[in-house]
Each structure stands twice: as C-alpha cells, then as structure tokens.
Amino acid sequence: MSEGFRNELEALAAPSREHRRLEAGVMKALLVQLCDGHYLSVAVMEILLGRKAQSIRQNYLKPMVDSKQLKLAFPNKPNSPKQGYTLS
C-alpha cells in the first residue's frame, strides 16, 4: 500500500479513531468510503478505524454483506483469513 493511499484512508477513517462512539449509520458510511474501488481486509480496517476486528465484522461487515452493500473478495470462502471487502 502506497504512503499516499494509506494517508487518504487514514483521513477517511479519522472520525472513528477520534470518537469512541459513532452512530451505526456514520460507521457504515465510513466503511463504504473505505471500501470504494478496492478490497480491504478486516485487519487493515481494524488499524484504520481503531476498532476491534470482531466488532467490525459482527456489527457492520456481516450485515452489510448480507444486505449486498459490500461484497467478499472470496465469496466461496467467507471465513478466509485473507478475506477482503469492497462495494457491491
């Protein structure tokens, strides 16, 4: 990941790191922005958002995949440690 791209993603995710509590709609909007045009892993999201991977996965990613807002990089292997998420 290039430094410029990483800085761009960090700037997008800043509200999550700066506030302990965010409304679900705000967090979902952040995830949509972060995943727009490329795949991101939960590990990268955890660092960018300053949230635990399990929380991101359970509270946001799974419901967003189920509602087809996001899609999986490896739909046949939903539990893959290399799983990534992007916009549908």
Fold adopted by 3-87: Arc Repressor Mutant, subunit A (1.10.10)
| pLDDT digits 0-9 by tens, 42-56 | 999 999 999 999 999
Residue 75 is predicted with a pLDDT of: 95
Distance CA 7, CA 75 (A): 29
pLDDT confidence tier of residue 88, bands split at 50, 70 and 90: confident
Cα angle value 46/22/85 (rounded, 5°): 40
The phi, psi pair for 67, rounded to 5°, reads -90, 5
Say whether pTM exceeds 0.75. yes
Residue boundaries of the structural domains of the chain = 3-87
What percent of the chain lies above the pLDDT cut of 70?
A: 100
Whether 9 and 16 have beta carbons less than 8 Å apart is answered as no
Average pLDDT over residues 60-66: 97
Q: Please, are residues 85 and 35 in contact by the beta-carbon 8 Å criterion?
A: yes
Given this model, what pLDDT does residue 27 score?
Answer: 95
The DSSP H or E segment spanning 27 is helix 24-34
Q: What is the mean pLDDT of residues 17-37?
A: 93
